[in-house]
Amino acid sequence: MGRTRVSVVLGSFNRRHFIEAAIDSVRDNGISVPYEIIVVDGGSSDASLKFLTGQKDVITIVQHNRGNWHGKPIHRQSWGYFMNLGFKCAHGDFVCMISDDSLLVPGSIMAGIETYNAAVEKGRGVGGVAFYWRNWPEQKNYWVGLTFGNRMFVNHGLYSKEALEAVGYADEDNYNFYHADGDLCLRMWEKGYVCVDSPDSFVEHYAHANEKVRATNAAAQRQDWAVYSARWGSLCLPERDWIELEHGDPTRTADKYWRMGPLRRWMAWLHRRVRKKVPRTA
C-alpha cells in the first residue's frame, strides 16, 4: 500500500450518527494516495465507541473528557490537548482536520493536496490549506475564515505535518475550545508557513448536531477570545471575517447522506425545524 500520505483526524463526542456519515464521506472522497482515519473520542455514551471499534480502517483513541470516575469529576481537557492526540500520532505528510458533524464533498482532499503542491512550487512554505465550508442547509455559499492580520486560518482542511511539528502543535494550555485553530495558524505564519485556500475543496457542516454538546463548548468562547485577542490583537482585525465562494455541488453530498443511513430521521426533523425558522425567500 505504501507510506501513509494523509491522516484524517476527527474529534468526536456523542455524535454516533454523524461520525458514521463523516467517516463514510472520507472513504468516498476519492483519495488516491495511502491514508488513515484517526478518531479521538471524548468517552461517548451513545454507542459511538461500539461503532468505532468495529471499523477496521479507523484508529480510535479514547480520552474520557466528561463525567465522573471513582467519585471524582473528570478534568476536562482543552480542544488542543484533545486534537493533539490525533495530530501527534498521525503518520501522514498531511493532516486533514474535519469536524465529526461534517461531510467532505468528493474530491476535496486530493484538490487540497494539489493546491498545496502548486503553492510550494511557487516557493511558498505552506502550513495549512483551508477548505470552503458552510452550515447546511441554512447557508447557500461556502466560506473560509480570515483572522488577525488579514491572515487565513483553517476551520476544516489540511495541515502540513512538518508545520505542525515546527510550531509544537496546537496550544493545549491557553484555550478551552475556541480560537486555538486560529492561534495555531498564526503561529505557523510566524514560522514562515502560510495558509492558503483550496477553491475546489468543500465541506458540508451540520450546525444543529447535538446542540447540548455545542452549548457547553460555547460557554468558553468569551474567555478564549480574551486570550486570543491579547496575544494577536496587535496584528489588527481583518476588514472582513470571511471569504465567500458560490459552488453548486454536483454530487449533492448533503442530500445523499440525508437519504441514506442513520442520518435520515435526524435530517427530516432538521428540515422541519429550519422551514419554520427560515422564510422560503431566504
Q: Dump pLDDT digits (tens) for 139-179.
A: 999 999 999 999 999 999 999 999 999 999 999 999 999 99
Half-sphere exposure of 255 (CA within 13 A, CB side): 5
CA distance linking residue 10 with residue 110, whole number of Å: 18
Cell 445523499 belongs to residue: 256
Cα distances from 92 to residues 86, 122, 162, 170, 191, in angstroms, run 11, 23, 10, 17, 21
Residue 229 near residue 186 (C-beta atoms within 8 A):
no
As a whole number of Å, the end-to-end CA separation of the chain is 48
Query: Average pLDDT of 189-197?
Result: 97
Residue 63 near residue 40 (C-beta atoms within 8 A):
yes
The better pLDDT of the pair 267, 155 is held by 155
For residue 259, is pLDDT > 70? Answer: no
| b/e 35-44 (16+ beta carbons within 10 angstroms → b) | bbbbbbbbbb
Cis peptide before 199 (omega within 30 of 0): no
Query: Average pLDDT of 262-280?
Result: 56
Nearest residue to 33 via CA among 117, 118, 132: 117
Predicted confidence band at 281 (pLDDT cuts at 50, 70, 90)? very low
Coil, strand, or helix at residue 112?
helix
Chain mean pLDDT for the chain: 90
Backbone angles phi, psi at 125, to 5 degrees: -85, 120
Cell 486560518 belongs to residue: 153
- In this predicted model, what pLDDT tens digit does every residue of 196-241 receive, in sequence order? 999 999 999 987 755 665 556 666 788 999 999 999 999 999 999 9
Domains of the chain: 6-277 (3.90.550.10)
pTM of the model: 0.89
Coil, strand, or helix at residue 180?
helix
